[in-house]
Amino acid sequence: MPRFLGLDCSTQSMSAVLIDTADRAVLAEHSVSYDEKLPEYGTTNGVLPSFNPAIAHSPPLMWLDALDVLLSEMCDMGADFSQVSAVSGSGQQHGSVYLKDTAGQALALLHSERPLSVQLRDVFSRESSPIWMDSSTAAECRAMNEAMGGEEAMAAATGSVAFERFTGPQIRKFSGEELINYKNTDTIHMVSSFLASIFSGRHAPIDRGDGAGMNLMDLSRDSWHPICLEAAAPGLVGKLPPIVPSDTVVGELSRYFERYGFSRGALSVVWSGDNPNSLIGVGLVEPGRIAISLGTSDTYFGYMPELHADPAGEGHVFGAPCGGFMSLICFKNGSLARERVRDRYEYSWDDFSRALGSTPPGNGGGIMLPYWVSEIVPRVPEAHVRRYRLDEDDADANCRAVVEAQMLSMKLHSRWMDVAPTTIYATGGASANPEILKIMADVHNAAVYRFSVGNSAALGAALRAAHAFHKHHGEEMPWNEIVGGFTEPVKDSRIDPDPDTACLYQEMAELYAACENHALKGEDWSEHV
Ligand code: ADP
Ligand code: XUL
């Protein structure tokens, strides 16, 4: 019975999916929320409180505790890990973990008697980890772009212009502000390679998919870029793990995991970022279709055979686990913004859905620029909500406005990818909402399908574990075969666009773009509409 486990350390929760590849079946799926299960860490939506809204950090010890809670709850629920052949995982991208030189030995000595957070409490040279929501490194981004010869050169080499949440600028800020702690740091991991190290009982490498989210990797060579490294921090080359292909077996699982019934000899496979994993988890192993993940952030992504960076510098190119590349745009105001609107009117998700169902497409011309928190695409450095022909007291129209704005923004800012998708795969927590998916279908003029496995990143990680396991045993399988049977969308979940509504949104996209342009330039567009 070939079984594989995929984990996902995301912003708000730790999740796992256990699969059986002979039966093409998901045997177990479970998730634990940090705020709910580990309130002692004091996080809100998984993030530590901060006086500066640009700073977003999470405690890495909390992730270790969440892993223990997750696996022990799964055992209590009857999950049998003894047959698991290989484990891999998914980390929220860009986040980084800073370890002292004692970490290597502590990892090697992990034993199953005491929880991870007790055994690894003293190995951190920085107590908190900057995560992808952090936007405090504008100065560092400017300096790194400059060192590379400008934004365009940075994007051509690393797949993205320097972005505030990316790991390189974050490391530069850390070494600039806390040089002693930086010097005390022996190894800098991404969230993904940190957790892979726990499973492997030794420092794990960084996979090329997630490594591309650092502004430090030469994307065409899959190696560290010397100029980026030098621009980030002194002596960085000695602190980074090597970059490896996404199907690398790190070794056997650490003995720690015997605590949960894993067998000796099970393999630990390199982890990747949540977006590269999701690419596999929704079966996008060939070009043509795209996926939209409606999670804490919203992401729009697809497989990309040839490297081609966004000339506007808004999108990203990461390594695809199946070889080649993936293109991605990340919108920070995803569920965060939808929740703000829902809460502003004291609505439940049912009320929110009813509001979407009872308001007309196009919202009678009412438009919202929904930057409830600072935005990545387009770049909006501070939270800033604007309404045009939209009454703030009209709760239902505001619900429609936030979703229409998000979908129109995706349509406009994804033009550089050069794919006019006819099929969209929707995933993430909010894909459970058919009214949101209806607006998605109409705005993009594409058929939208939903997936039954809620966590595509964890499923993708489990499928990567299967691929690496077979390759390790000399029987490499084609990716189509690996994902087949797991990544078919839910039958009957197809939502087709309505041609008239699609035309209406085609026109509205131009109006939305004009509102966006004027608002970002500081002009008061409300006078013009
Ligand atoms: P992440 O993996 O980024 O932590 P998820 O993909 O698990 O996030 O999505 C969680 C989000 O899904 C919640 O924060 C919530 O806002 C959203 N969500 C859940 N159910 C609904 C619903 N019925 N309608 C809209 N949004 C929903
Ligand atoms: C992608 C991004 C987010 C994180 C967290 O660039 O910042 O999608 O990976 O999900």
- Alpha-carbon distance of 25 to 150, in angstroms, equals 48
Q: Using DSSP bridges, classify how beta strands 13-20 and 3-9 pair: parallel, antiparallel or unpaired.
A: antiparallel
Burial of 305 (C-beta count, 10 Å sphere; 0-12/13-18/19+): exposed
**Cβ(227)–Cβ(215) under 8 Å?**
no
What is the mean predicted confidence (pLDDT) over 340-346? 98
Closest Cα to atom 10 of ligand 2: 92
Beta bridge partners of residue 84, listed in sequence order: 3
Q: State the Cα–Cα distance between residues 33 and 433, nearest whole angstrom.
A: 20
Going by alpha carbons, the residue nearest to atom 13 of ligand 1 is 429
Is 11's C-beta closer than 6 angstroms to any atom of ligand 1?
yes
Cα-to-centroid distance, 393 and ligand 2 (Å): 32
Mean pLDDT score, 230-237: 98
pLDDT value of position 59: 98
User: How confident is the model over 10-52, as pLDDT tens digits?
Assistant: 999 999 999 999 999 999 999 999 999 999 999 999 999 999 9
Nearest CA to ligand 2 atom 7: 132
Note the residue count of the chain: 529
Tokens 């998919």 belong to which residue?
209
What is the predicted pLDDT for the residue at 288? Answer: 78
Rounded to the nearest angstrom, the distance between the alpha carbon of 522 and the centre of ligand 2 is: 28
Q: What number is the average pLDDT over the span 449-462?
A: 90
Q: What's the pLDDT tens digit per position in 517-529?
A: 988 886 554 443 3
pLDDT > 90? residue 1: no
The string of pLDDT tens digits covering residues 97-126 is 999 999 999 999 999 999 999 999 999 999
Ligand nearest to the CA of 429: 1
380: Cα separation from own chain's centroid: 20
CA distance 17 to 29: 4
- Beta-strand runs (E) in 134-269: 187-190, 206-207, 217-218, 223-224, 243-244, 249-252, 267-269
> In angstroms, how far apart are the furthest CA atoms of the chain?
69
The residue whose CA has the least distance to atom 21 of ligand 1 is 430
Distance 285 CA to ligand 2 centre (A): 20
pTM over 0.85: yes
Pocket test for ligand 2, best of 47, 214, 277, 299 (most atoms within 8 A of CB): 299
Task: Please work out, in degrees rounded to the nearest 5, the angle formed at the alpha carbon of residue 233 by the alpha carbons of 135 and 324.
Answer: 70
Q: Strand 325-331 to strand 298-304: parallel, antiparallel, or no bridges (unpaired)?
A: antiparallel
Measured in Å, how far apart are the chain's first and last C-alpha atoms?
Answer: 63
pLDDT in tens, 259-287: 999 999 999 999 999 999 999 999 999 88
Specify whether the CB–CB gap between 30 and 73 falls below 8 A.
yes
Tell me, in angstroms, the distance from the centre of ligand 1 to residue 428's CA: 6
Any ligand 1 atom below 6 A from CB of 428: yes
Annotate 252-284 with DSSP letters as a single string.
Answer: EPPGGGGGGTPPTT-EEEPPEEHHHHHHHHTT-
Q: Whose CA is nearest to atom 25 of ligand 1?
A: 430
Looking at all shown ligands, the one closest to residue 427's CA atom is 1
Mean pLDDT, the chain, as a whole number?
95
